[in-house]
């Protein structure tokens, strides 16, 4: 037999090697999550102080949202981070109607006992037929409702109520609104409740008050995030929830802040704390911008009100001459 070409093949027994998977793309960039980043966030928040020109000692952040979304739990989470242990000053839990019944401005304290320069103002949960109404929301924003006022579902507050603040000062008003929404039930919010929040937003927009959204319970909305909280900004599920909320409330995506509250934990976790502090820092930045705008408006009003007085003084002097 005449052989003109010979090819030899080798057969091996084994599993075909797979190409290494690509790292998931992050839809929101942050520095590397580690102890140093946690310290940086902590320091940034502690160092933020409101302008003294308006007589502000702290910033007031009003928390609004449907019943059971985690408003009170978020305050407890932030207080836990700065106390260095799990804290539960605000009452929280699951109930048909809002557990929170009073307007409560909570201060956050560091381990040293010193108060930080912001307050989370907790109030009743939003419901379709009960809860905060549009008039009460307006009174809250303007600082007319006194601290620790107990809401009465049957009788809304009015200027005739004892303790009603008729001439609130800037420190008593709200400087930023934080809507709190459950990430796993974003698509199930009743349309009537969305309409209610949108009506509140119209008042806030008229007053120039910034609004952000706290997207809670991200661990329950996505299994990847439940297994590792730092996966939150690569999770397509959480990204979709951010997009959904952005559309419902008409807010930019960077105003939507995912978090996981301390709920099952008995000790602090750096990743949970980092995510919570990222949200707080952004909220305080928005409040700082609002205060700067408010300061400029008040300065402009003062200047314009002085001009007629100067003109009037000049005319009187001319009359005397």
Task: Indicate whether 112 belongs to any domain.
Answer: yes
pLDDT band at 105 (very low <50, low <70, confident <90, very high): very high
- Are 68 and 112 in contact, with CB atoms under 8 Å apart? no
Q: What is the pLDDT of residue 238?
A: 98
Average pLDDT of span 293-317: 71
Residue 56's domain is classified under what CATH number? 3.40.50.300
Q: Cβ neighbours of residue 37 under 8 Å, at least 6 residues apart?
A: 30, 31, 274
Number of domains the chain contains: 1
Task: Indicate whether 116 belongs to any domain.
Answer: yes
Dist CA 179 CA 69 (whole Å): 10
pLDDT band at 125 (very low <50, low <70, confident <90, very high): confident
Q: What is the pLDDT of residue 54?
A: 83
Task: Indicate whether 312 belongs to any domain.
Answer: no
Task: Indicate whether 175 belongs to any domain.
Answer: yes
Task: Indicate whether 93 belongs to any domain.
Answer: yes
pLDDT band at 131 (very low <50, low <70, confident <90, very high): confident
**How far is residue 126 from each of residues 92, 133, 196, 276, 284, measured CA to CA in Å?**
15, 8, 9, 23, 23
Task: Indicate whether 189 belongs to any domain.
Answer: yes
Neighbours of 43 (CB within 10 A): 10
- Are 252 and 286 in contact, with CB atoms under 8 Å apart? no
Q: What percent of the chain has pLDDT over 90?
A: 65
Q: Report residue 5 as tokens.
A: 């070409």
Question: What is the pTM assigned to this prediction?
Answer: 0.85
Please, how many CA atoms are within 13 Å of residue 17, restricted to the half-sphere of its CB? Answer: 3
**How far is residue 199 from each of residues 137, 202, 203, 308, measured CA to CA in Å?**
10, 5, 7, 38
pLDDT of 234 strictly over 90: yes
Q: Report residue 153 as tokens.
A: 């579902």
Average pLDDT of span 173-199: 95
User: Domain of 272?
Assistant: 45-298
Per residue in 257-287, pLDDT (tens digit) is 999 999 999 999 999 999 999 999 999 999 9
Task: Indicate whether 33 belongs to any domain.
Answer: no
**Chain centroid offset of residue 173 CA:** 17
Secondary structure (H, E, C), 192-213 = HHHHHHHHHHHHHHHHCCCEEE
pLDDT of 202 strictly over 70: yes
Task: Indicate whether 291 belongs to any domain.
Answer: yes
Q: What is the pLDDT of residue 114?
A: 87
Nearest CA-CA partner of 294 in 54, 107, 80: 54
Q: What is the pLDDT of residue 303?
A: 78
Least confident of 80-94, 154-168, 204-218, 228-242: 80-94
Average pLDDT of span 39-63: 91
Strand ranges for the chain from DSSP E: 59-64, 104-109, 115-122, 176-182, 211-216, 256-258
Q: What is the pLDDT of residue 94?
A: 61
């Amino acid at each position: 037999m005449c052989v003109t070409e010979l090819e030899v093949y080798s057969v091996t027994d084994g599993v075909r090697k797979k190409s290494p998977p690509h790292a998931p793309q992050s839809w929101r960039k942050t520095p590397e999550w580690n102890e140093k980043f946690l310290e940086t966030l902590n320091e940034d928040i502690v160092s933020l102080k409101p302008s003294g020109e308006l007589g502000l000692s702290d910033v007031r952040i009003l928390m609004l949202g449907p019943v059971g979304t985690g408003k009170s739990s978020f305050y407890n989470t932030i207080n836990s981070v700065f106390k260095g242990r799990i804290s539960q000053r605000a009452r929280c839990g699951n109930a048909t109607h809002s557990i929170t019944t009073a307007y409560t401005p909570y201060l956050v304290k560091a381990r040293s006992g010193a108060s930080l320069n912001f307050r989370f103002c907790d109030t009743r949960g939003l419901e379709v037929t009960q809860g905060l109404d549009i008039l009460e929301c307006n009174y809250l924003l303007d600082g007319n409702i006194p601290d620790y006022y107990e809401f009465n579902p049957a009788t809304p507050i009015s200027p005739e109520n004892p303790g009603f603040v008729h001439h609130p000062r800037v420190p008593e008003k709200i400087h930023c609104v934080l809507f709190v929404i459950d990430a796993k039930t974003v698509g199930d919010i009743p349309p009537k409740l969305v309409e209610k929040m949108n009506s509140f937003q119209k008042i806030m927009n008229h007053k120039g008050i910034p609004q952000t959204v706290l997207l809670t319970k991200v661990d329950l909305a996505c299994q990847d995030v439940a297994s590792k909280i730092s996966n939150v900004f690569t999770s397509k599920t959480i990204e979709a929830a951010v997009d959904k909320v952005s559309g419902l409330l008409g807010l930019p995506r960077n105003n939507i802040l995912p978090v996981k509250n301390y709920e099952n934990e008995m000790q602090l976790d750096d990743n949970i704390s980092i995510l919570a502090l990222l949200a707080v820092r952004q909220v305080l930045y928005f409040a700082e911008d609002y205060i700067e705008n408010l300061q400029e408006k008040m300065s402009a009003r003062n200047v314009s009100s002085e001009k007629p007085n100067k003109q009037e003084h000049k005319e009187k002097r001319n009359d005397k001459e």
